[in-house]
Amino acid sequence: MGRLLKAVLLVVCLVSATVTSAAGASSQPPNSIGIRLIGASAGVVDPRARSYIVDHLAPGTVSHRQVEVANSTNSTMQMSVYAAAAAVANGSFTFAVGRTANELTTWITVDRGALSLRPHSKALVNVTISIPKDASPGERYAVIWAEVSSGPPNGSGVVVVNRIGIRVYLSVGPGGPPAADFKITSIKAGRTAAGRPTVAAVVRNTGGRAVDVGGDVQLLDGPGGVSAGPFSVQDVTTLAPGDIGTVTVVLNKGLPSGPWTASMDLKSGFVEATSQGRIRFPGRGPTVQPRRFPPAWVMAAGGVLAAALLVALALLIRRRRGVRSAAGRIGSA
């Protein structure tokens, strides 16, 4: 037990990859490490291919890619670059612990696995993906990580590991890439534990590629004829081919319960799906005061009064004209 207590505790901080296109500037925050993809795969139209390695390769194919690793801190960083396993499950792209391997990571090599990056400097790393000739068709997932480890501060025995990575979505098979597609099967309303209304769409991946589904919802034809939105999806839902998941939008707490017409517009890359449904949020929300109109007899009386005023005004004008005409005749006489 004493030896166990003296063992080094490893704390891993997973940082989502935040990268832009090769032509754009990296969104790396100051005083941090970063990694971005250089160039997209030829012939791949998926917009995600500008940020992630999204590709379709035939068995026996070798693909060469390049990533840029950056150090924006004021210290020299000893960095490791490697591939580790990932998966798509429960609506998320999930990262494996440490350097866990899967089939795809055994196909990936990097030419510079260890880097010493000076302050505010960058380095290019070549990534090679070699698909075996006997590889079975299907899509596989991994992450290319850039990692920095800090030594135990003050002999505490705690090592902190920070890493940031680029996702890999690799489809294997003959011919061209399988089409990506998804469908919205239903829309339902709900509330969070804090009482905020939600609109959730059940989505099925009907294509041959993983999809990262985001978008927004707009509320129409609500109580008193009001509308609200659009409200954006906060967390993208990732679905592997054949998977079913839920895309949820959390709305403002002050919205009335309904009924509403919810118009959901979702997309992944260039693939879009739209659906509408009549919903009502569970529980009681704020009420909307209906538009109030005067009773019918008041409106009718108002109309009669307006007509009488018009007649009186017309008689007055005619009388004045008659007086002026008489005065003219007297003067001429």
Beta strand 9-15 pairing with 53-57: unpaired
pLDDT in tens, 85-110: 999 999 999 999 999 999 999 999 99
Percent of the chain clearing pLDDT 90 (strictly above): 65
Q: Domains (ranges, CATH) in the chain?
A: 10-172 (2.60.40.10), 182-279 (2.60.40.10)
- Average pLDDT of the residues in 164-192: 95
* DSSP secondary structure letter of residue 260: E
pLDDT at 193 over 70: yes
Quote the pLDDT of residue 26.
44
Token pair of 120 as six digits? 């505010």
Q: Is the pLDDT of residue 12 over 60?
A: no
Segment (H or E) for 9: strand 9-15
> CA-CA distance, 164 to 18, in Å (whole number)?
9
Structure tokens at 56: 């379709």
Phi, psi torsion values for 30, nearest 5 degrees: -65, 155
Q: What burial letters (b/e) apply to 204-222, b meaning 16+ CB within 10 Å?
A: bbbbbbbbbbbbbbbbeeb
Structure tokens at 100: 């866990």
Rounded to an integer, the average pLDDT of 271-282 is: 95
Token output for 209: 């590629």
pLDDT > 70 in the chain, percent: 74
Q: What is the distance between the alpha carbons of residues 266 and 232, in angstroms, rounded to a whole number?
A: 10
Q: 0.85 cut: is pTM over it? A: no
Per DSSP, the three-state class of 146 is strand
pLDDT at 315: 65
- pLDDT of 15 reads 38
| Dihedral angle of Cα 26, 31, 33, 39, to the nearest 10 degrees | 10
What SS3 state is found at 97?
coil
Give the pLDDT confidence score for residue 45 in this predicted structure: 79
What's 48's DSSP letter?
G
What average pLDDT does range 313-323 have in this prediction? 60
Q: Which residue has the higher pLDDT, 241 or 25?
A: 241
Mean pLDDT in residue range 7-27: 35
DSSP code string of 268-294: ETTEEEEEEEEE--SS-----PPPP--
- Hey, which residues does 37 pair with through a beta bridge? 67
The tens digit of pLDDT for each residue in 55-88 reads 999 999 999 999 999 999 999 999 999 999 999 9
